[in-house]
Amino acid sequence: MKFEVNGSEVFASTGGRPFDKSKPLIIFVHGSGLTHMTWVLQTRYFAFHGYSVLAIDMPGHGLSSGKSLKSIEEMADWVSDVIDSVGYKDASLVGHSQGCLVTMECAARNPKKIKTLSLMGGAGAIPMNPELLSLAENNDPKAVDLMMDWAHGPAGHFGGHPVPGLYHINTGGMLAKSRTIKSTLGVDFRACDNYKNGFEAAKKIKIPTLSILATGDKMCPVKEGKKLADLIEGSKVEIIDNCGHMMLLEEADRVLKVLKQFIVTNFPAQKIN
Amino acid sequence: MTDKKNKGTDPKTYKFDTLSLHAGYQPHKNAGSRQVPIYQTTSYLFDDVDHAAALFNLERGGHIYSRISNPTVAVLEERVASLEGGTAALATSSGMSAIFLTVMTLCEAGDHLVVSSQLYGGTVNLFRLTLPKFGIKCTFVKPRDTEGFKKAIQKNTKGIFGELVGNPGNELMNMPEISKIAHEAGIPLIVDATYQTPYLCKPFEHGADIVVHSLTKWMAGHGSSMAGILVEGGKFDWMQNDKFPTMTTPYEGYHGLSFAEEFGPTAFTMKARAEGMRDFGPCLSPQNAWNVLQGIETLSVRMKKHCSNAEEMVKYLLAHESVAWVSHPSVPDHPDHELAKKLLPNGRGSMIAFGIKGGKDAGVAFINNVKLASHLANVGDTRTLVIHPASGTHSQMDEATLKFAGLSHDMIRLSVGIEDIDDIKNDFEVGFRAARKPRLVSNQ
């Protein structure tokens, strides 16, 4: 669906069901340079099981208008504005990669508004490889190719997509190339590289939090994810083996299983906003 | 987002020959079986009713019924998508069903397509006679008439279709230029790349949006199994205009799903499967999918030999006294020679058309007397194949259509196999000797 946030049009997938304000809201926040489509194997489940779902395209990404936001802090405030714009008082947040930094910062800034936090492939800081950052800022498609290479685990490189007929690396690559690389990936990578508040933000989070990490994640390795999780009070950690950074697609079913268990327990669907 | 080990390097994603052997398959999810298992089953157990609903609602990936998808077939689909540089693929029971499914996913009754005139005879009939029965009309344009494609586009045109190298005359479509014309009009370019396989050309790199193959040919390669596939490039923006409402608006045919919004770069394949396989059902058998996978494992090796043998045969035919003309993109005076160098850098393919002196009678005598070359209605076998199109593959065309398709009565279509080149030449000598005999008799 399309709606306005701060005067700009935003697109969000509602997971194939009409947006229904009587149901609790889950917001999914994608990673650098990507779009709402990365969440298709998680969002539709929740939309069909009692939740209102918004898999948002960040400004300047996917089908959303406007320019990409330049800092994680701005993105965090924007996600909070999304909740207001759709008429909710609170929501559960799910983030992947850069989306983890955004949702974590948002949760730290809005302790009453954010009810649960689910982080996939997250870390307290995501410093960028200088070569990758430079390629992305110079609009070089090699940035996307490198990201797809590093983002997929050994098994993901062979394929075996959970949806018959889809090929992981080319699909992800095409998503990241759907808008101008430097204006999406380039801006996002710079925002990740500049963000230094992750560990401090983590210490402020007191809501139920789940970290899903993958043993083959070269971009946000398990030890970095655990370091972050240790700072979040009562944080739960789930590790997916034989999988890379794109766990939400590479091992969609296993990820959905742990996410489902966490959200249903801590943010039940029968809760009326 | 740092990978210290990979600093300053190129991506380490697998390359063509490796993907030919491995893409789409993970042994650890299949009891460690090194070879792709053949899932000879119609249907798949649901864990519970929630799991069943999740599969039907596309909440999660998986298999329901083998008409819609099958694990063995899915490996083939991913493998071909990876080799083509595509986002997704859908395998079908034949190349013709891949074309039909592509058109039916793209078009509604009242729509129009612009189509290259030089196509396999069955494809010509589909576009000329069968699709109009569904309310879909086509305008044919000669493949070299690039401007003609532009002029033929109408308000209701939903795509341009052509074979990259036309069957059987070996005329090339200027794919980069025609893709620009298609994209300026907000419609996709669909390319049948059966003759090339992704080893010789990856059409997505030259502007195509959807690629179709008869996998029966070089991809499977051994003349054993029928199969087809459509592959999606993922770049075409279905939402740029209002020409494709069943892709871009809530679609009654599938629970109000908007395929383009939900699946983006894989939307076309998702719709072709969810709607097309459900409603038309031209599914590929797992056994045939496995046979094609076996063929693809050696695609590079075979295509190199096919192409080197073809180049030798071109030289041989050009020098032969019984041959009136030879059409192959490797011939310097072929009108598309330069374009072929650009689009087909790894080889110009193994299809040769040549004219035999003595016309139709000589052609018939040649075909009837070769012994090693097989006379049959197929191409892309490991074995050398010959046919006389005017009396075979294109025999359902009238005189005018034959001429428009660039065919002549003296034309022989040769699909060069990977036998020893000397044996192919020796066999042709037998054919040519027989072809000369009727003329000698008639001259007496």
* Res. A272: pLDDT tops 50: no
Q: Which residue of A has its CA nearest to B23?
A: A158
> Could you tell me if residue B8 is inside a domain?
no
| Cβ separation B78–A160 shorter than 8 A | yes
Classify residue B350: in a domain, yes or no: yes
| Maximum C-alpha span of chain B | 84
B75 interaction partners in chain A (CB closer than 8 Å): 159
Walking along chain B (444 residues) 10 residues at a time, the average pLDDT comes out as 58 93 94 97 96 91 96 98 98 98 97 95 93 98 96 98 89 96 98 97 98 98 96 97 94 84 95 95 98 98 98 98 96 95 96 93 93 94 92 70 77 96 98 80 41
- CA dist A147 to A29, A140, A167, B267, B352, Å? 18, 12, 16, 23, 43
- pLDDT in the model for residue B263: 93
Angle at B273 (CA atoms; ends B269, B277), nearest 5 degrees: 145
What is the per-residue pLDDT for B169? 79
Same domain for B146 and B105, yes or no, is: yes
Task: Please report the pLDDT score of residue B441 as a whole number.
Answer: 47
Q: Could you write out the DSSP letters of every residue in B360-388?
A: HHHHHHHHHH-SSSEESS----SS-EEE-
| C-beta atoms of A164 and B63 within 8 A | yes
Domain boundary among B275, B295, B315: B295
Residue in B with minimal Cα distance to A177: B235
| B159 plus B236 within the same structural domain | yes
Q: Which of B260, B295, B330 is the last residue of a domain?
A: B295
For residue B437, the model assigns a pLDDT of 80
- Number of domains observed in the structure of chain B: 2
**Domain limits of chain A?**
2-126+196-266
For A183-201, how does the pLDDT look when each residue is reduced to its tens digit (9 = 90+)?
Answer: 999 999 999 999 999 999 9
Do B396 and B422 reside in the same domain of the chain? Answer: yes
Q: Is residue B2 part of a domain?
A: no
Domain shared by B283 and B322, yes or no: no
* B322 and B273 assigned to the same domain: no
Domain check: are B244 and B152 in the same one? Answer: yes
Q: Which of B191, B183, B278, B291 is closest to B231 using CA atoms?
A: B191
Of B1, B75, B261, the CB nearest to A126: B1
Q: Using 50, 70 and 90 to split pLDDT, how confident is the model at A271?
A: very low
Answer yes or no: do B66 and B135 share one domain.
yes
Q: What is the CATH number of the domain that holds B363?
A: 3.90.1150.10
Of B10, B59, B81, the CB nearest to A45: B59
Same domain (yes/no): B337, B270: no
A166-189 confidence digits (pLDDT tens): 998 999 999 999 889 999 999 999
The answer on pLDDT for A125 being more than 90 is: yes
pLDDT at B403 (0 to 100): 74
Query: Domain range for residue B372?
Result: 299-443
What integer pLDDT is reported at residue B291 of this predicted model?
A: 98
Helices (H), A153-221: 154-158, 168-176, 181, 187-194, 198-204
Alpha carbons within 13 A on the beta-carbon side of B188: 25
Residues of B in contact with A190 (CB under 8 A): none
Among B249, B279, B295, where does a domain finish?
B295
Q: B315 and B264 in one domain?
A: no
Name the class of domain A2-126+196-266: alpha beta
- All residues of chain B having their beta carbon less than 8 Å from the beta carbon of residue A144 are none
Residue B3: per-residue pLDDT: 52
Identify whether B7 is part of a domain: no
Q: Which residues 144-163 of A have a C-beta within 8 angstroms of B?
A: 145-150, 155, 157-163
> Between chains, do A126 and B74 touch, taking CB under 8 Å as contact?
no
Q: Do B265 and A178 touch (CB under 8 A)?
A: yes
Q: ipTM value, please give it.
A: 0.94
Residue B5 belongs to a domain: no
| Separation in Å, CA of A90 to nearest CA in chain B | 25
Distances (CA, A) of A124 to A102, A199, A200, B5: 11, 5, 9, 21
Query: What is the pLDDT averaged over residues A45-74?
Result: 97
To the nearest whole Å, the CA of A112 is away from the closest chain B CA by: 30
B374 and B325 in one domain? yes
A273 pLDDT tier (thresholds 50, 70, 90): very low
Residue B61 belongs to some domain of the structure: yes
The whole-number pLDDT of residue B168 equals 77
Q: What is the CATH number of the domain that holds B118?
A: 3.40.640.10
Spell out which residues of chain A touch residue B261, defining contact as CB-CB under 8 Å.
Answer: 11, 13, 63
CA proximity to B106, closest of B232, B228, B206: B232
Spell out which residues of chain A touch residue B235, defining contact as CB-CB under 8 Å: 174, 177
Q: Does B285 share its domain with B303?
A: no
Confidence of residue A239 (pLDDT cuts 50, 70, 90): very high
